[in-house]
Amino acid sequence: MSSKFPRRALISVSDKSGLGPFVQGLVELGFEILSTGGTSRFLKEQGVNVIDVSSYTEFPEIMEGRVKTLHPRIHGAILGRPDLPGDAAAIEAHGIIPFELVVVNLYPFAQTIAKPDVTTDEAIENIDIGGPSMVRSAAKNHAYVGIVTRPEQYDRVLGQLREGELSLAFRRELAGAAFEMTATYDRMISDWFTELTSEDSANELPPKLNVSLTRAASLRYGENPHQRAAFYTEPNPSPGSLAAAKQLHGKELSYNNLLDLDAALCIARDFSDPAAVVIKHNNPCGCAIGDTLAAAFDKAYEGDPVSAFGSIIGFNRPVDVATAERLCEPGRFIEAIIAPFFETDAITMLQTKPKWKNNVRLLECTGWDNTSGLGLDYRRVTGGLLVQDRDDQPEPEAEWKVVTERQPTAAELIDLKFGWKVCKHVKSNAIVLVSGGMVVGVGAGQMSRLDSSYIAAHKAGERSQGSVVCSDAFFPFRDGIDEAAKAGVRAAIQPGGSRNDEEVIAACNEHGIAMIFTGRRHFKH
């Protein structure tokens, strides 16, 4: 910036995190501060001498603040190139003082539309106009102007300014971040309007899908050491999502940890009773409900203690000392735990008692029950993206039908309902055996449903006697029921809908097995 002009910064932000100390640092470096509206009031309360934009432009804010920075003296001060004769003449003729720094972030549109009771008018009023205009202008003219759009940039900006001025490389970096911010912002607004104006939004997904994600963490590697990996998150992720969880302790998370933690989170929150789930390779090898969280964990871990070594644990209640004591028992090794909350003494125990105390990752997801905004389910394929609704809708239990001669007992019905919730989270073909509110055997991801039945029965052993069987899709033949009967199964739940349903029902009647048709399939490929 030419020394003939005073050092000036234009500041207009919605997110005022860290703004006070940052601006004080600018003032100490000799900057004059121009601002408007709420930012101006905030800075004056911080003791900063602020020049109001309206006094500089000699034009008042109008239309309830909708128009305040859209003025030639503002954008001329941002876009001007003082070393070009034409620009220099315009700057002098119109009394423009160029900005060295523009600090702008935008109205909180994402937070506004995430509110359950937001109105259309409220959403529209939170569409920023002047902010993106200033950001884009400053980013375009980054050869002369530094554009600052995030509080995380403040320290680096001050550091370079204290050494003289912002380097061109840094100004280019800031400009790139600025254009990404406005692009993300515009995509959010476009998506909102698409949903708002869709003629049949309940039955059809949007014709165009824009996905904007921010890298939250660089991971050591992906599923295998030779694969690069990173964790990207949505803007303002749902409080009930893994992206919103806070790591309290332990080593950095791996790619596979994150996959398994998400599986644990999704399963555990499906239950209203105290519940624990043990995840291995994205499948539950154990899951249970109990009168207490500790009791639920004991049952879940005993579902398959061999597979549970090196597992991920999910809870739907705060982890208390009693549960932490169970987690720390000798012979157990746990990679990570996710829960709504950890009691202080429980954290201390997990950090000090077991051999794996320094490594175990503890994640707290305080917005456990808030699943609004989880959005659509994406699956990458080569050259495209498969998109669907999440399989998280309430089960229509009123539509369930008992199709056999024998009705399930009250105890069997409890286990059937519990197992059906677990089954939808198991990779297809999925067979889950349940007894006494705990998973005793799982057959997952097999090419044949009969193979899954064999595996589930083998895992359960003697515990399969008197158990119930849950199948994510229909039994295509009676062989699956015959296998269940050999294992001592007394009741079954499945969607129904096979052309061989009558054959399967007849097999159940022969073996004295009660069976429910749910009418809803839960494939998880």
* Model confidence pLDDT, tens digit, residues 279-294: 999 999 999 999 999 9
For residue 157, pLDDT over 60 is answered with yes
Helix ranges, 8-84 (H): 19-28, 37-45, 53-57, 72-79
> Phi/psi zone of residue 311: left (φ > 0), alpha (ψ -120 to 50 degrees), beta?
beta
pLDDT at 387: 92
pLDDT at 187: 83
**Mean pLDDT of the residues in the chain:** 89
pLDDT at 105: 86
- What confidence category does residue 202 fall into, taking pLDDT thresholds of 50, 70 and 90? low
Q: Please provide the distance, in angstroms rounded to a whole number, between the alpha carbons at the two ends of the chain.
A: 59
Instruction: Establish if 210 belongs to a structural domain.
Output: no
Number of structural domains (the chain) is 3
pLDDT at 39: 84
Instruction: Establish if 303 belongs to a structural domain.
Output: yes
Cα–Cα distance measured from residue 236 to residue 213, given in angstroms and rounded to the nearest whole number: 10
Return the exposure string of 307-323: e unless at least 16 CB atoms fall within 10 Å of the residue's CB, then b: bbeebbbbbbbbbbeeb
pLDDT at 186: 83
Axis crossing angle, helix 19-28 with helix 37-45, rounded to the nearest 10 = 70
Instruction: Establish if 392 belongs to a structural domain.
Output: no
Domain shared by 358 and 421, yes or no: no
Domain shared by 432 and 487, yes or no: yes
Domain shared by 185 and 230, yes or no: no
Domain shared by 414 and 357, yes or no: no
437: domain CATH number is: 3.40.140.20
* Model confidence pLDDT, tens digit, residues 44-93: 888 888 787 776 666 666 665 566 566 777 778 888 888 888 878 888 88
pLDDT at 62: 60
Instruction: Establish if 18 belongs to a structural domain.
Output: yes
Domain shared by 163 and 287, yes or no: no
pLDDT at 64: 59
Closest residue by Cα to residue 13 from 145, 169, 181? 181
pLDDT at 192: 77
pLDDT at 59: 64
Q: Write down the residue that tokens 């911080």 correspond to.
A: 46
Q: Which of 155-159, 167-171, 487-491 has the highest mean pLDDT?
A: 487-491
Cα–Cα distance measured from residue 23 to residue 5, given in angstroms and rounded to the nearest whole number: 19
Instruction: Establish if 304 belongs to a structural domain.
Output: yes
Q: Which domain holds residue 27?
A: 8-194
Return the exposure string of 195-228: e unless at least 16 CB atoms fall within 10 Å of the residue's CB, then b: eeeeeeeeeeeeeeeeebeeeeeebeeeeeeeee
Domain shared by 413 and 297, yes or no: no
* Percentage with pLDDT > 90 across the chain: 62
Domain shared by 444 and 503, yes or no: yes
Closest residue by Cα to residue 465 from 485, 481, 443, 442? 485
Cα–Cα distance measured from residue 225 to residue 478, given in angstroms and rounded to the nearest whole number: 44
Cα–Cα distance measured from residue 29 to residue 101, given in angstroms and rounded to the nearest whole number: 12
Domain shared by 180 and 227, yes or no: no
* Percentage with pLDDT > 70 across the chain: 95
pLDDT at 242: 95
pLDDT at 79: 85
pLDDT at 380: 92
For residue 3, pLDDT over 70 is answered with no
Cα–Cα distance measured from residue 312 to residue 308, given in angstroms and rounded to the nearest whole number: 8
Identify the helix (H) or strand (E) that includes residue 8: strand 8-12
Domain shared by 154 and 234, yes or no: no
Which of the pair, 72 or 394, is modelled with greater confidence? 394
* Model confidence pLDDT, tens digit, residues 122-133: 888 878 788 888
For residue 430, pLDDT over 70 is answered with yes
For residue 118, pLDDT over 90 is answered with no
pLDDT at 234: 87
- What confidence category does residue 444 fall into, taking pLDDT thresholds of 50, 70 and 90? very high
Q: Alpha-carbon torsion 515, 519, 524, 525, what sign?
A: positive
Average pLDDT over residues 312-335: 96
Domain shared by 184 and 221, yes or no: no
Cis peptide before 429 (omega within 30 of 0): yes
For residue 11, pLDDT over 70 is answered with yes
Burial-class residue 498 by CB neighbours within 10 Å (0-12, 13-18, 19+).
Answer: middle
Domain shared by 128 and 233, yes or no: no
Average pLDDT over residues 446-463: 94
Instruction: Establish if 370 belongs to a structural domain.
Output: no
Q: Which residues contact 70 (CB under 8 A, 6 or more apart)?
A: 129, 130, 133
Burial-class residue 47 by CB neighbours within 10 Å (0-12, 13-18, 19+).
Answer: exposed
Domain shared by 236 and 183, yes or no: no
For residue 302, pLDDT over 90 is answered with yes
* Model confidence pLDDT, tens digit, residues 244-291: 999 999 999 999 999 999 999 999 999 999 999 999 999 999 999 999
* Model confidence pLDDT, tens digit, residues 166-196: 999 999 999 999 998 888 888 888 877 777 7
178: domain CATH number is: 3.40.50.1380
Record the pTM.
Answer: 0.76
Average pLDDT over residues 13-26: 88
For residue 500, pLDDT over 90 is answered with yes
Burial-class residue 447 by CB neighbours within 10 Å (0-12, 13-18, 19+).
Answer: exposed
Active site residues: 140, 281
